Amino acid sequence: MTEAFRTLRLAVSLTLLGLACTVQARDLKIGIVFDPADPRYESKRLDKLYPGQAMGRPKAGAELAIAESAFQLEQANLRVMLEEVPAASARDARAQIEALAKKGVRHFLADLPGSSLTELSKTVAGQDVLLFNVSAPEARLRREACAANLFHTLPDDAMRSDAIAQFLTVRKWNKVLLLTSTLADDQPAIGAARQAIKRYGLKLAAVKTFKLSNDPREHDLGNVALLTAGIDADVIWVVDPDGEFARQVPYASVAPRPVVGSAGLVPEAWHASWERHGAPQLNRRFRKASGRWMSTPDWAAWMATKAIVDVALRSPDSREHQRMLRGADLVLDGFKGARLSFRPWDQQLRQPIFLAHGGIGGGIAGVAPFDGFLHAKNNLDTLGADERESACSAMGASSTESGKQ
């Protein structure tokens, strides 16, 4: 071997070594903004396993999504990590988000109550960050309080209420007894139920207000038999986001009537008894990783993380991710049997809604949208605010979309 050839081989080796050193893994950090004192995750509340409510912090869903994407991430030389952002207030959350944004963190899962998320989304509007709402169901966040950098993987109150109304319409249970609370925090959910009843032509047989109280003078306000006596209704629709009263309603009415809403038949984004489209495998993976069943907020965090990973794999430029998420060519698999995408007018994730009963060990009575409820572009848009109904003005012109479900 000549000296010239040795020199050439050494030069090539050094060049290849240099190239290998320059190909370093790209890092993607996803922040999870949460309130450590959030009452929705108090241990006493979680132990009660109210239908339709969280069973634990949704971070577990995000962790599973990253684990499931390990092969694609390795092939793309992309490392995805979660960064916890505990915040006692919206102001605190904003300060931490701004600090992390300066370090290159652009994606944040927001696990906050609706009031806190509304305030936070206003304060970070216009900044180069993307928020993904995984636990606040208020429709207002998708309408008049929407923000251009706020996406929603959790279905809102309107979508859930429309799913119930479609089910009642299919079953011809047209006369509804509506049971509602007096709490201010419950009014968005109550309003969504009323709107769905009106939208689908159902009839309000009566509206009764309940109240749980230790005051003996108010005992009758929590008595289901008294609240339901003498009313000619096909079904009882109870709106109780807290869940304490709703769990008492099934089998407690004077006349035998099915119960829907916050108890009985409950609208869910995810349920452990869904057995199609890979759902059993997802449920088993989640249970093995977290020690509990996957609930709706867990699925929302899992879905949001999958969406972030999808666009990050396609483009390293985070400034392109909002456009890509809103684009008509983005299609996500939520293991629900439908092609999921974000609505460009309010950035809510289109998705089917399960009508589930019996808690974790129960079943699914149907999946909305139901046959016969059609939309000109996408039948999933029969759930929640359609583009012409949207009060969101922060998005500008909507993307052109195609394809029917």
The answer on 144 and 165 residing in a single domain is: no
Q: Is residue 367 part of a domain?
A: no
Please, what sign has the CA dihedral across residues 118, 65, 62, 30? Answer: negative
Q: What is the pLDDT of residue 251?
A: 96
Instruction: Using the 3D structure, point to which of 351, 370, 395 is the last residue of a domain.
Output: 351
Instruction: Using the 3D structure, point to which of 210, 236, 268 is the last residue of a domain.
Output: 268
Q: Is residue 133 part of a domain?
A: yes
Q: What is the pLDDT of residue 400?
A: 44
Please, what sign has the CA dihedral across residues 40, 192, 51, 300? Answer: negative
C-alpha 309/C-alpha 315 separation (Å) is 10
Mean pLDDT of the residues in the chain: 91
Q: Is the confidence at residue 398, as pLDDT, over 70?
A: no
Q: Which two tokens stand for residue 214?
A: 């230790």
Q: Is residue 249 part of a domain?
A: yes
Q: What is the pLDDT of residue 312?
A: 96
Q: Is the confidence at residue 11, as pLDDT, over 90?
A: no
Contact 82, 60 (CB under 8 A): no
The closest of 329, 351, 383, 342 to 148, measured between CA atoms, is: 342
CATH number at residue 254: 3.40.50.2300
- Split into its structural domains, the chain has a count of 2
Q: What is the pLDDT of residue 352?
A: 98
**Backbone dihedral angles phi then psi of residue 398, each to the nearest 5 degrees:** -75, 150
SS3 344: coil
The answer on 241 and 192 residing in a single domain is: yes
The answer on 214 and 322 residing in a single domain is: no
Q: What is the pLDDT of residue 132?
A: 98
Q: Is the confidence at residue 399, as pLDDT, over 90?
A: no
Q: What is the pLDDT of residue 5?
A: 44
Q: Is the confidence at residue 405, as pLDDT, over 50?
A: no
**Per-residue pLDDT tens over the stretch 354-379:** 999 988 889 999 999 999 998 989 99
Ranking 1-10, 106-115, 214-223, 277-286 by mean pLDDT, the lowest is: 1-10
**Per-residue pLDDT tens over the stretch 295-320:** 999 999 999 999 999 999 999 998 89
Contact 224, 190 (CB under 8 A): no
| Domain carrying residue 184 | 159-268
C-alpha 117/C-alpha 40 separation (Å) is 14
Inter-CA distances, 20 with 10, 11, 27, 125, Å: 15, 14, 17, 40
Q: Please, which pLDDT band fits residue 2 given cuts at 50, 70 and 90?
A: low
The answer on 315 and 231 residing in a single domain is: no
Q: Is the confidence at residue 127, as pLDDT, over 90?
A: no
Q: Is residue 375 part of a domain?
A: no
The answer on 218 and 285 residing in a single domain is: no
Q: Please, which pLDDT band fits residue 233 given cuts at 50, 70 and 90?
A: very high
The answer on 151 and 276 residing in a single domain is: yes
Q: Is the confidence at residue 75, as pLDDT, over 90?
A: yes
Q: What is the pLDDT of residue 125?
A: 83
Contact 164, 261 (CB under 8 A): yes
The answer on 335 and 288 residing in a single domain is: yes
> Which amino acid appears at position 316 of this protein?
P
C-alpha 299/C-alpha 277 separation (Å) is 15
The answer on 62 and 100 residing in a single domain is: yes
Contact 234, 175 (CB under 8 A): yes
Q: What is the pLDDT of residue 214?
A: 76
Q: Please, which pLDDT band fits residue 23 given cuts at 50, 70 and 90?
A: low
The answer on 141 and 182 residing in a single domain is: no
Contact 361, 273 (CB under 8 A): yes
Q: What is the pLDDT of residue 402?
A: 40
C-alpha 78/C-alpha 80 separation (Å) is 6
The closest of 124, 110, 122 to 30, measured between CA atoms, is: 110
The answer on 142 and 55 residing in a single domain is: yes
Mean pLDDT of all residues in 270-286: 95
Instruction: Decide which of 32 and 377 is more confident.
Output: 32
Which uninterrupted H or E stretch holds 246? none
The closest of 57, 108, 62, 34 to 301, measured between CA atoms, is: 62
Q: Is the confidence at residue 393, as pLDDT, over 50?
A: yes
DSSP character at residue 28? E
Considering just the CA atoms, what is the radius of gyration of the chain in Å? 24
Instruction: Using the 3D structure, point to which of 268, 293, 322 is the last residue of a domain.
Output: 268
Q: What is the pLDDT of residue 394?
A: 83
Q: Please, which pLDDT band fits residue 6 given cuts at 50, 70 and 90?
A: low
Scored b (16 or more CB within 10 A) or e, 197-232 reads: beebebeebeebebeeeeeeeeeebeebeebbeebe
Q: Is residue 3 part of a domain?
A: no
Contact 209, 221 (CB under 8 A): yes
Q: What is the pLDDT of residue 9?
A: 56
**Per-residue pLDDT tens over the stretch 244-256:** 999 999 999 999 9
The answer on 287 and 242 residing in a single domain is: no
Q: What is the pLDDT of residue 139?
A: 96
Q: Please, which pLDDT band fits residue 3 given cuts at 50, 70 and 90?
A: low
Mean pLDDT of all residues in 276-289: 96
Percent of the chain with pLDDT over 70: 92
The closest of 290, 56, 295 to 154, measured between CA atoms, is: 295
Give bridge partners of residue 132 from the DSSP assignment: 109, 151
Q: Is residue 373 part of a domain?
A: no
Q: Please, which pLDDT band fits residue 20 given cuts at 50, 70 and 90?
A: very low
Indicate the pairing of strand 107-111 with strand 26-34.
Answer: parallel
Q: Which two tokens stand for residue 64?
A: 């599973």
Q: Is residue 318 part of a domain?
A: yes
The answer on 222 and 143 residing in a single domain is: no
Mean pLDDT of all residues in 157-165: 98
Q: Is residue 335 part of a domain?
A: yes
Instruction: Decide which of 47 and 401 is more confident.
Output: 47
C-alpha 244/C-alpha 45 separation (Å) is 10
Mean pLDDT of all residues in 382-404: 73
Q: What is the pLDDT of residue 18?
A: 43
Inter-CA distances, 259 with 139, 236, 268, Å: 23, 5, 15
